[in-house]
Chain A
């Protein structure tokens, strides 16, 4: 009897070992914010059940700048602990050498995705990463407050400023001293580059460095755009906005203390959570346009992707995971639960998706016209370009010199950095 038991347990352990030999242990990094980590874990549980692999999530800080520094370090050191990286849309040209080419593995599925997004992740013919979702920001507005004050959704920044000021003053007088007009991402980091690029582009001020490598940022339209934003600080936006990243600005907004809010679509689902003070009271619209002959509404192209490290010990299983996470099924759930914009074209006509996030039908056009950050023309110098740009903007917002002065210095610095060619 005892011998039998022993035999059974021995056999069991043998099968366990054999099972483990096939199943891979993978690690994926994620700098997700809000309840994104829980969502990712949920999807990974499904993946584990389907394949028998085990996947560990390595959480990262939410600042993209911090994540990049860490990933670059790990990749340069040939770290084998991380198999799948979550990468920002701008990183492909900088990290291409360190990731596996997914062209072959994804040959059957690339056609489902928008070609422009696949192209943004292709460097010298190598498909560096598979898209998880794309991003184009929105102007979140309080429809209850606009109705109360009889205002319409602003189409230009000037309208937005006036409306924000009026409603803020009114609400403060009515007994909410914490009310603000507009919150955005004003900390000196990559997020400010996104926000400021939108202002500049909406005024027809170019996109910092043009696709052919020309430095275009020092122009009167760009200066006017940044000066306009500097005028918000301390009037319709709190001084503390200079230190806000996405989550801090969402905090102010979701407590019901802002009339307008610039953020990515992920804040839509979170804002409609039960614990949100603005649940059901807000809607989203395209960002306002600037002034001048080439004024338009501009949105910076964001988005996240999954890339497989070339140092992965189990590249096949890791590719399998990246394909799974980029699949239409996961993207659909992502769109419903996280209100992230899918990169799979068919999902924009999906009834379930549109029921959860009605705004998405309009967003297809917006992100297709979105402005890319100049990561392609500036290549490995992009981070420094971005840092110089956000510093110049942050200085202007903090009242350190006018936009014209700061942009002139920025142009000289960029020219030094560029040298003969990027």
Chain B
């Protein structure tokens, strides 16, 4: 993800030549960017604008083109009853929506926290020199390489209360007194989803952190060793600060991914209110129910929430996408 920044031209050249050369490079760069910008506008920009537009209409799937403008009605509307009480309706006062937002945030927080901690441990292990490191590095990527829908289905069988291997193991080892319906009960459903996500995405986190770790010069550790710095102190005083830029980028990738989580939950616990996330709810309204406009409003709000989060994160965390200034 570290993009090569264009190196400034050699200092020996005069100011006029430099600016001409720069201009030429900028022009060339624009041409190179153009295909990507067009592709982005077609596959991301246009659909985004369309769903934002639909969220202000009364569109339904059977009547997309005859949709009429309703302003902010899908977000918030109110009516005054005869008694004088004001009744609010719409997405912003929809308890289901805020439950989904809360589920998503909860999911994102715990999954990213665990993935970061575990990913860091795995990365530190893989960064050490040992025999067969190449094979271990490849093997640890397997969960990440399996398509989510496949691994989710696999886990849903493993978690099954009657024929699942987890319950079988638990009973045989005496860890469980009775079979647990992991995905069915509200208390364990979120944990089950979290475990599968952590299993699946820790390798991704480990890989990104490992890349950061390998950029740390070895001589710093040698110097620390000569000074007799304890390894734990080395980690907190040397490794962590130096790997921080890569770590911050890895975390934001994961958080963005986690905030729009859909497939895993759709397969494991599709209709449980305990795990329903923003994306799952938006899909339900868009396609299952006859609420295309309302679903579009949810998709739009989901987009805004992720956008605001990203901006705040970059601003507060001073994330540098150039791969860290050193």
Are B162 and A240 in contact, CB atoms less than 8 angstroms apart?
yes
Residue of A94, A257, A384 with most chain B CB atoms under a 10 A cut-off: A384
Q: Which A residues between 61 and 88 are near B, CB-CB below 8 angstroms? A: 63, 65-66, 68-70, 72-73, 76
Q: Within the complex, what minimum Cβ distance (angstroms) separates B157 from chain A? A: 10
Determine which of A70, A189, A241, A255 lies in contact with B271 in the assembled complex, contact meaning CB atoms within 8 Å: A189
Q: Which residues of B contact A70 (CB under 8 A)?
A: 287
Q: Which residues of A contact B180 (CB under 8 A)?
A: 239
Q: Which residues of B contact A186 (CB under 8 A)?
A: 184
- Cβ of A380 under 8 Å from chain B: yes
Determine which of B160, B184, B289 lies in contact with A383 in the assembled complex, contact meaning CB atoms within 8 Å: B289
Q: Which A residues between 40 and 73 are near B, CB-CB below 8 angstroms? A: 63, 65-66, 68-70, 72-73
Are B186 and A240 in contact, CB atoms less than 8 angstroms apart?
no
Question: A390 — nearest CB in chain B belongs to which residue?
Answer: B271
Question: A382 — nearest CB in chain B belongs to which residue?
Answer: B290
Are A398 and B271 in contact, CB atoms less than 8 angstroms apart?
no
Q: How many A-B residue pairs have CB under 8 A?
A: 90
Alpha-carbon gap, A416 to B89, bound state (A): 10
Alpha-carbon gap, A416 to B87, bound state (A): 11
Are A241 and B184 in contact, CB atoms less than 8 angstroms apart?
yes
Q: Which residues of B contact A76 (CB under 8 A)?
A: 61-62, 64
Determine which of A69, A239, A242, A395 lies in contact with B288 in the assembled complex, contact meaning CB atoms within 8 Å: A69
What is the size, in residues, of chain A's interface with B at 8 Å between Cβ atoms? 40
What is the size, in residues, of chain B's interface with A at 8 Å between Cβ atoms? 28
Are B181 and A391 in contact, CB atoms less than 8 angstroms apart?
no
Are A238 and B62 in contact, CB atoms less than 8 angstroms apart?
no
Are A251 and B162 in contact, CB atoms less than 8 angstroms apart?
yes
Q: Which residues of B contact A252 (CB under 8 A)?
A: 162
Are A240 and B184 in contact, CB atoms less than 8 angstroms apart?
yes
- Cβ of A400 under 8 Å from chain B: yes
Are B271 and A248 in contact, CB atoms less than 8 angstroms apart?
no
Alpha-carbon gap, A76 to B64, bound state (A): 8
| Given A65-B288, A239-B185, A242-B181, A187 and B271 contact (CB-CB distance below 8 Å) | yes
| Given A384-B291, A400-B186, A178 and B283 contact (CB-CB distance below 8 Å) | no
Question: B64 — nearest CB in chain A belongs to which residue?
Answer: A76
Are A248 and B179 in contact, CB atoms less than 8 angstroms apart?
no
Are A384 and B289 in contact, CB atoms less than 8 angstroms apart?
yes
Alpha-carbon gap, A324 to B284, bound state (A): 34
Are A239 and B62 in contact, CB atoms less than 8 angstroms apart?
no
Are B181 and A243 in contact, CB atoms less than 8 angstroms apart?
yes
Q: Which residues of A contact B111 (CB under 8 A)?
A: none
Q: Which B residues between 57 and 96 are near A, CB-CB below 8 angstroms? A: 60-62, 64, 89
| Given A384-B291, A400-B186, A257 and B271 contact (CB-CB distance below 8 Å) | no
Q: Which residues of B contact A398 (CB under 8 A)?
A: 185-186
| Given A189-B270, A239-B180, A72 and B162 contact (CB-CB distance below 8 Å) | no
Q: Within the complex, what minimum Cβ distance (angstroms) separates B281 from chain A? A: 11
Q: Which residues of A contact B184 (CB under 8 A)?
A: 186-187, 239-243
Alpha-carbon gap, A303 to B89, bound state (A): 37
- Cβ of B235 under 8 Å from chain A: no
Q: Within the complex, what minimum Cβ distance (angstroms) separates A91 from chain B? A: 12
Q: Which B residues between 170 and 216 are near A, CB-CB below 8 angstroms? A: 179-181, 183-186
Are B181 and A72 in contact, CB atoms less than 8 angstroms apart?
no
Are B289 and A387 in contact, CB atoms less than 8 angstroms apart?
yes
User: Chain A: residues with CB nearer than 8 A to chain B?
Assistant: 63, 65-66, 68-70, 72-73, 76, 94, 97-98, 178, 186-189, 238-243, 248, 251-252, 255, 257, 380-381, 383-384, 387, 390-391, 394-395, 398, 400, 416
Given contacts A69-B284, A97-B62, 19 further A-B contacts (CB under 8 A): A69-B283, A70-B287, A73-B61, A76-B64, A94-B290, A239-B181, A240-B162, A240-B181, A242-B181, A243-B161, A243-B269, A252-B162, A255-B162, A380-B62, A381-B290, A384-B290, A384-B291, A398-B186, A400-B186
